[in-house]
Amino acid sequence: MFSQFALHERLLKAVAELNFVEPTPVQTAAIPLALEGRDLRVTAQTGSGKTAAFVLPMLNRLMGPAKVRVDIRALILLPTRELAQQTLKEVERFSQFTFIKAGLITGGEDFKVQAAMLRKVPDILIGTPGRLLEQLNAGNLDLKQVELLVLDEADRMLDMGFAEDVERLAGECANRQQTMLFSATTGGSGLREMIAKVLKDPQHLQVNSVSELASGTKQQIITADHNVHKEQVLHWLLANETYQKAIIFTNTRAMADRIYGRLVALEYKTFVLHGEKDQKDRKLAIDRLKQGGVKILVATDVAARGLDVEGLDMVINFDMPRTGDDYVHRIGRTGRAGAEGLAISLITHGDWNLMSSIERYLKQKFERRTIKEVKGSYTGPKKVKASGKAVGVKKKKTDAKGDKKKTAAKGPTKRKTVNRPKAESLVSQDGMAPLKKRVTRPPVSE
């Protein structure tokens, strides 16, 4: 029961209005400590209810009578604009019976309109690091009186190259009394460094380890001979599986566009989301999916980051994600807040070793599934090593040029050697399409 927490009655009223009955594990663990004013470092997957775990204590701190606002009192940093928008909505839902106002600052929106909003001084500011820094540098933003700072999806902010920006913004909140950092994964040395810099004697709550990932989600693999065969399997799944809404992940924009084209030709109502789409397209795609006008979304990782769409119960990895953490993020789209979900990865010969490394990383074995109507000839390696990898898969010559197979052989946790979707990340943040970069990058590097 939410009434177990020492939350203001107006917040409990909003919680009841939203039909939240039982707190999720992350809420049970984090809310009391956050209310005490502790610095927290929380490892919890997307979909665990972590937003409410920091928003409710934040609002509780800010509760008070209506008055002229003079200072921004809380700052929430997030990696992508969609996630920032969703967090704003969550804040607005929980603060509906209070006088607390929140504002949003992300890339892709009008700079001057944002500056005007900042002049009215919201109590809570929610945003992505790049644009917040631009507003700061333009003299439009004063964070000196921020009492509470939240870094959400901190691991992803680091992946996207925001470490310095985040630290600079945290430094601007010099008088803060409390900092909370959330990440879906335990992260690496970059995250440890950031934690040491921004948190004071934090309590570490590890609510979901990756191996407990989305327990409501069934995880399967289906082997395929090649991409055209994958398309047949995909078509079969979309036509025969029971689902409310599905998301199909690819590793590259080109592949996302290709699948999208195929699905449109097959008369599926679908949208495609990747970093080259402008903000209007992205909003439209997400709104249609939420309203149910469209049931299928084709997306690259970054474009789909932070999507919280109710009823999204099937995730298909057309391309296997390049790291275990990316897998966790993708599968986090489904089985949210205890709902059932299905995650299916399509695996060719070239994907096998990557898939088996991800299984090892997650300490899970995916269910092997065959569909007789679209069965191919590849059913997995003839012989596997103890690690689950194929025996005798020689690297091909093309591998040296950064072909996906090279990545596949490296395993999911060695991020540095992998062609990371850097440009896709930054593009998604700014809503721009740097064409020059696109030509110089190898096709799989998105």
For ligand AMP, the closer of residues 23 and 187 by Cβ is 23
Contact in structure between 297 and 270 (CB atoms under 8 Å):
yes
The contacts of residue 47 (CB under 8 Å, 6+ apart) are: 214, 308, 332, 333, 334, 335, 336, 337
Residue selected from 30, 31, 48, 409 as contacting ligand AMP according to rule CB under 6 A: 48
Nearer to ligand AMP, 24 or 95 (CB): 24
Site string for ligand AMP, 285-324 (x = CB under 6 A): -----------------------x----------------
User: Which has the closest alpha carbon to 78: 44, 105, 43, 108?
Assistant: 105
Of 311 and 402, CB closest to ligand AMP: 311
Quick one: which of 5, 11, 34, 47 contacts ligand AMP (CB under 6 A)? 47
Query: Quick one: which H or E segment has residue 35?
Result: helix 25-36
Q: What are the residues whose beta carbons fall under 8 Å from the beta carbon of 254, sequence distance 6 or more?
A: 443, 446
Least distance between ligand AMP and beta carbon 105 (Å): 20
Residue 260 phi, psi (nearest 5): -55, -45
Considering only residues 52 through 71, tell me which ones interact with ligand AMP, judged by CB under 6 A. 52
Of 50, 295, 404, 406, the one binding ligand AMP (CB under 6 A) is 50
Per-position x/- string for 334-363, each x denoting binding to ligand AMP as judged by CB under 6 A, each - no binding:
--xx--------------------------
Residue 172 or 308 with smaller CB distance to ligand AMP = 308
Closer CB to ligand AMP, residue 216 or residue 376? 216
**Closer to ligand AMP by Cβ: residue 79 or 381:** 79
Strand pairing report for 124-127 and 74-77: parallel
d(CA 268, CA 375): 23
What mask of x and - would describe binding to ligand AMP in positions 8 to 27, judged by CB under 6 A? ------------x-xxx--x
When asked if residue 156 is in the footprint of ligand AMP (CB under 6 A), the reply is no
DSSP structure string for 246-262:
EEEE-SSHHHHHHHHHH
Do 176 and 148 contact (CB within 8 A), yes or no?
yes
Using CB under 6 A, which of the segments 43-51, 102-110, 261-269, 419-427 binds ligand AMP? Answer: 43-51
The Cα–Cα gap between 344 and 443 comes to 24
How many residues would you count in the chain? 446
Count of residues engaged in binding ligand AMP, rule: CB under 6 A: 15
Q: Which is nearer to ligand AMP, 46 or 445 (CB)?
A: 46
Tokens of 397: 């010559």
Interface stretch with ligand AMP, choices 49-57, 134-142, 157-165, 316-324 (CB under 6 A): 49-57
From candidates 8, 38, 49, 56, binder to ligand AMP by CB under 6 A: 49
Quote the least distance from Cβ 158 to ligand AMP, whole Å: 19
Tokens (6 digits) for 136: 């700061």
Walk across the sheet containing 341-347 and list its strands. Answer: 270-273, 296-299, 245-249, 312-317, 341-347, 217-223, 367-368
Site residues (vs ligand AMP, CB under 6 A): 20, 22-24, 27, 46-52, 308, 336-337
